[in-house]
């Protein structure tokens, strides 16, 4: 499969490859079964890491970067993807314009000024705040205005969840398979957070190409709705890009909506329990928006036996940890 990926251009942004695959012995013991491993994609390095760095490597590698002087993208106010894009732009000597949607109504100073937003500014990005639902129009207007001024903007789709972006997670599946082989374990399940769908699509394609029967659970963090078609569409585009048809059908993709709670960006009791457990058991920090909910999903799957005591599950830590600081007003009262 390495040869397959070598056909695609990649802008190297990850500091440490492969990212570590480590056991979580105390959490495994606490839950009374299932060997839990963690894939540390929170340690992809650039700008506090996360899954977007992997996707940007291939998405930017696929572009003629000489033709552009500005990267433009969008996300929620505390978007990890926006922060990763701002960092990539800085690394590549480009300017960056971010359209950030007010998806969460949190007026605290920390939410407005700290976490990812603070980092966006440190990277020199220009930030445009827009109302929920106004992103597409705002991007069009921004691109027109930048072009009028003689700038050459490249728009990166939300989450870099294009077929090329998803190649980053084909590569991650390959890494995990090699690491598991070296540890003499076989992976039965992978659990990850799903938003724009590219990470899950890439992992499904990767394990399929490797011929490994790994069940990939996508845990949704909001808004509610069936995400299988979203993932399936990316999977099909990815298969076309790889020139290898996928056998996976849309109905076989697993996306779980049970952890969403009150919606995007709202901490749930189960997510709060997951954050506390992983920190106190194995010293791992999760973010309140994405990975806390996906770990809560994993814990539930182990507790209700859908992941059996004799099986091995990998938790994909997809990053997002700078958001901890943006949620100080929510998190601190729970931990003091």
Task: Name the site residues for ligand PLP (rule: CB under 6 A).
Answer: 50-51, 80-81, 159, 161, 193-200, 287, 290-291, 318-320
CA distance 336 to 334: 6
Nearest residue to 256 (alpha-carbon basis) of 229, 282, 228, 279: 228
H/E run at residue 210: helix 198-210
Catalytic entry in 77, 79, 199, 294: 79
Q: Is 265 helix (H, G, I), strand (E, B) or coil?
A: coil
> Nearest approach, Cβ of 22 to ligand PLP (angstroms)?
18
Return the residue nearest ligand PLP (CB atom). Answer: 195
Q: Is the peptide bond before 18 cis (omega within 30 degrees of 0)?
A: yes
Q: Contact at 8 Å (CB) between 194 and 218?
A: yes
Nearest residue to 134 (alpha-carbon basis) of 161, 103, 95: 103
**How does strand 189-194 pair with strand 312-317?**
parallel
- CB count in 10 Å sphere of residue 255: 19
> Nearest approach, Cβ of 221 to ligand PLP (angstroms)?
8
> Nearest approach, Cβ of 44 to ligand PLP (angstroms)?
11
Q: Which is nearer to ligand PLP, 110 or 216 (CB)?
A: 216
- Whether 186 is catalytic is no
> Nearest approach, Cβ of 303 to ligand PLP (angstroms)?
22
Q: Which is nearer to ligand PLP, 180 or 216 (CB)?
A: 216
CA distance 95 to 87: 10
Residue whose entry in the numeric block shows the structure tokens 């078609």: 229
Q: Which is nearer to ligand PLP, 196 or 300 (CB)?
A: 196
Q: Which is nearer to ligand PLP, 146 or 317 (CB)?
A: 317
Residue whose entry in the numeric block shows the structure tokens 């949607």: 101
> Nearest approach, Cβ of 242 to ligand PLP (angstroms)?
18
Structure token digits, residue 99? 């359209």
Q: Which is nearer to ligand PLP, 119 or 146 (CB)?
A: 119
Sequence-ordered list of residues with C-beta below 8 angstroms from that of 102, at least 6 positions apart, any chain: 77, 129, 130, 131, 132
Q: Which residues are catalytic?
A: 79
């Amino acid at each position: 499969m390495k040869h397959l990926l070598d056909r695609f251009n990649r802008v190297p942004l990850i500091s440490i490859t492969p990212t570590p695959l480590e056991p979580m012995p105390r959490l495994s013991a606490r839950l009374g079964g299932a060997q839990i491993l963690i894939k540390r994609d929170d340690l992809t390095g650039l700008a506090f890491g996360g899954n977007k760095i992997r996707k940007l490597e291939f998405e930017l590698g696929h572009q003629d970067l000489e033709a552009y002087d500005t990267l433009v993208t969008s996300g929620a106010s505390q978007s990890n993807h926006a922060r990763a894009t701002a960092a990539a732009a800085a690394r590549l000597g480009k300017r960056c314009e971010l359209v950030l949607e007010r998806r969460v109504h949190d007026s605290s100073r920390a939410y407005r000024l700290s976490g990812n937003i603070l980092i966006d500014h440190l990277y020199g990005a220009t930030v445009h705040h827009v109302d929920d639902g106004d992103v597409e129009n705002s991007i069009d207007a921004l691109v027109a205005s930048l072009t009028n001024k003689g700038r050459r903007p490249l728009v990166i789709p939300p989450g870099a969840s294009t077929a090329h972006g998803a190649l980053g997670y084909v590569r991650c599946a390959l890494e995990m398979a090699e690491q598991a082989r070296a540890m003499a374990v076989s992976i039965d399940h992978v659990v990850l957070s799903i938003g724009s769908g590219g990470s899950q699509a890439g992992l499904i394609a990767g394990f399929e190409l490797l011929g490994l029967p790994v069940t990939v659970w996508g845990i949704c963090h909001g808004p509610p709705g069936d995400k299988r078609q979203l993932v399936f569409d990316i999977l099909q585009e990815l298969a076309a890009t790889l020139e290898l048809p996928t056998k996976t059908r849309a109905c076989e993709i697993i996306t779980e909506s049970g952890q969403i709670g009150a919606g995007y960006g709202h901490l749930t009791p189960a997510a709060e329990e997951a954050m506390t457990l992983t920190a106190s058991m194995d010293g791992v920090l999760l973010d309140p928006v994405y990975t806390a909910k996906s770990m809560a999903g994993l814990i539930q799957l182990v507790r209700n036996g859908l992941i059996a005591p004799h099986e091995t599950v990998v938790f994909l830590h997809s990053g997002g940890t700078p958001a901890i600081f943006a949620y100080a007003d929510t998190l601190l009262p729970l931990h003091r």
